[in-house]
Structures are given as structure tokens and as C-alpha cells.
Amino acid sequence: MGLLSVLKQSNVIYVIFGITFLTSGLIINFFQCLLYFGLRPFSIYLYRKINCYLCYSLYSQLVFVPEWWSELDIVLYMNKDDVEKFKKNHKYILMNHRYEIDWLCGWIICERTGVLGNCKAYVKKSLQYVPILGWAWRFAGYIFMERNWEKDKEVITSQIKELVNYPDSISLLLCAEGTRFTTEKLEASQKFAQKANLPILNYHLTPRTKGFVASLPHMRGKISDIYDMQLQFKSDDPVKPTLTNLLQGKRITAYICLFRIPLEEVPEDEKGAEEWLHKHYEKKDRMAESFEQTGDFFELSGVPKLEKITLKRRYNSLVNIIFWAVVVNAPILYYLIIILLSGSIIYFSIGASSIFLICLLLQRMIGMSKISKSSSYGTDDKKLK
């Protein structure tokens, strides 16, 4: 086992990661707060520009883990002509929600195309109170959903009107299934689909159409394309796609099919848009089934084959994590040395307690991504309606 392999298994490295991310995250949150109250009332344009870089500095620390630490391999199928459009234009992304790290794989695509700083998504409202990421998302204009439709509809309307006026390209992600895939949720989803006379899916949950349909009128004329991102991992791969495995430096291969759909292809009436989304998820289900059976998205799905392309890694996330690691850990190391040399039991206890607390927070953040810890939303018929 080489030195790098040993380091990737070392708890010391995890502590350094944790200290770097948590401390830098709070620093970034502090500056976001200052800008939100001090700059935004006078110049929304300038606030959004600066906040994009702050968000990037935070998000790219997480992207560093699969990109450089575990060297996650991405096999991407996409039309080459669509890459530049993906980079330059506002975009609406539909993605399946099956894995612990699906959101991180989406961020990797955004990082490699240079649009990571302006990634947005529909997320649970409770997440806005989570320090660092939740606070950053709040300042960045994420769409926080209460799962109370009357309130959510108003939030969607106001937020999308703001987002489509951003000065730079935004990527708005919707996981239309509403919650992460589990076997229990699939059974409930299939029962609901059968009762409602909707397509019965085997690899996705029945999509919730309200958020999608409510968003469309405010996107037309501002967002020209929807991008469907179908993500799969091979089920027989011994290394499972989990955040823990990424932190341990284990290499994983992700397979992504990303294709562009002109927004004008989606009917303007609500009924037509709902039917379009259900048919689209039937297509996604065929692609998932084809991949599970053959290792190929296209062989059995009837979907036209896209070419395999390569989006090169950028050094930005690597440089960013090195910068923060030095800025954060150099003074901490200095004070740790002073504490050890002082011989004070009190100071030593404070230092040890701080490190222990950081480890607990890091474990809690990792735990939030685990499928076993996902919400129970969608496990009964009432919640599916």
C-alpha cells in the first residue's frame, strides 16, 4: 500500500478536511451575510456576481473530493454541440435521485463546464437552517420548499422570476421524484401510479408534477432548454457510490447521459405539461432498465445514441482547497503547538474537545447524505398526491 493510499485511510486527513471545510464555510457565510445586508440593497447585480464566487469557493471544496481525492471517473454521453449552450445559457436540469452522491456528480458536470458557482436547486426548507451549506444556499437564492403547495407555489413564482434575471448562466436543478429512491418508496409510488392510472415505473418514483408545471410559465422566454441528466452506477461494482467511499479515496465510475430538450417542446397548458413529464420519466425508466441489463443507456431503451465525450477536470477546485487548507490550518497548527508546549491541561482539553466536535459535525454531515437517513416523504399515498 502506497503512501497516498495510507493517507486516504487516515483519520488525520478527515479531520483536516473537516476543519478546512467547516471553518472556511463559516468565513464564507459571514461574508455572504455582510454582502446580503450591506451590498444587495444597493446593487443586486454586484451582489450576485460576488456571491457566485463565494459559493464556488465553498462548493468546489466538496467537488475536490470526487475530482481529485478519489478521482471519480465519469463516462458522459452528450451531444458535443450542446456543451457550449450548457456553459453559456440559463438551464433547467431534470435529474434522477437514486444515489447518495447524485447531487455531487451533477456538481462535477457544472464544475467542468465552469458554471458551478451559480448552481441552484429545489430543496427542503429545513435545510436553510443548516450551517454552512444551508446558509450559503439561502444567500444564493435556492428554492426552499415547505411541502405545503399554497406556500410553495408563491415561493416558486417569486424565486424563478429572480433567478432568470441573473447576470451569468444559472443551472436550476429539479429532482421531480421529490425524494431519494428507496425500495419502500418505490412500492408506494407504484401503488399510487396504479390508482391514478399513471405509468408504473421500476427504476424511478412517480414524478411530482406541480413544481415543474408551476415553474414553466416563468421560465419561458428566459430559459430556452431543459437538460435531462440520467445518472447510473453499475450495481455489480464492489465499490458503492457513497460519500464515505469517496472520502476514503476509493475510485468509482459514474455513467451520465445528458441531453438537451428545447423548452418549447413542453406543452404550455398544465395538463399537457403534466403528461409530458410522465412520458419523459417513462423514457428515463427505459434508459435505466437498459443500463441495468446491458450496461448501456441506449441498447434497449429506444433512445437515440449519444456520443461519448470527455469534459476535462479543471485545476480550480484543487487550487481552492489548497488555499483554504493553508489559510485555515496554518494558524490552527501554530496554536496547537503552543498548547502542547504550554503543558496546560485546560488548554489541551479545549483543543482536543474542539477536534472531537469537528469530527462529530463531519460525521453528521456525511450521515445526512446516506440513503438510510433520507426522509420518509413519499412512503404513503397521501404524501404522493
Residue 146 lies in a domain: yes
Q: Please name which of 118, 142, 136, 135 lies closest in space to residue 53, comparing C-alpha atoms.
A: 118
How would you write the chain as a 3-class SS string?
CCHHHHHHCCHHHHHHHHHHHHHHHHHHHHHHHHHHHHCCCCCHHHHHHHHHHHHHHHHHHHHHHHHHHCCCEEEEECCHHHHHHHHHCCEEEEECCCCCCHHHHHHHHHHHCCCHHHEEEEEEHHHHHCCCHHHHHHHHCCEEECCCHHHHHHHHHHHHHHHCCCCCCCEEEECCCCCCCCHHHHHHHHHHHHHCCCCCCCCCCCCCCHHHHHHHHHHCCCCCEEEEEEEECCCCCCCCCCHHHHHCCCCCEEEEEEEEEEHHHCCCCHHHHHHHHHHHHHHHHHHHHHHHHHCCCCCCCCCCCCCEECCCCCCHHHHHHHHHHHHHHHHHHHHHHHHHHHCCHHHHHHHHHHHHHHHHHHHHHHHHCCHHHCCCCCCCHHHHC
Residue 360 lies in a domain: no
User: Contact at 8 Å (CB) between 14 and 327?
Assistant: no
- Using alpha carbons only, what angle is made at residue 23 by residues 21 and 25, rounded to the nearest 5 degrees? 60
Cell of 197: 392510472
Residue 354 lies in a domain: no
What pLDDT score was predicted for residue 358?
66
Residue 348 lies in a domain: no
Burial of 29 per CB tally in 10 Å (0-12, 13-18, 19+): buried
Residue 376 lies in a domain: no
What pLDDT score was predicted for residue 57?
97
Residue 31 lies in a domain: no
Residue 51 lies in a domain: no
Residue 262 lies in a domain: yes
What pLDDT score was predicted for residue 359?
66
Question: Considering its fold, how many domains does the chain have in total?
Answer: 1
CATH number of the domain residue 284 falls in: 3.40.1130
State which residues of the chain have pLDDT below 70.
1-7, 340, 343-344, 347-348, 350-352, 354-356, 358-385
The boundaries of the domain holding residue 142 are 72-315
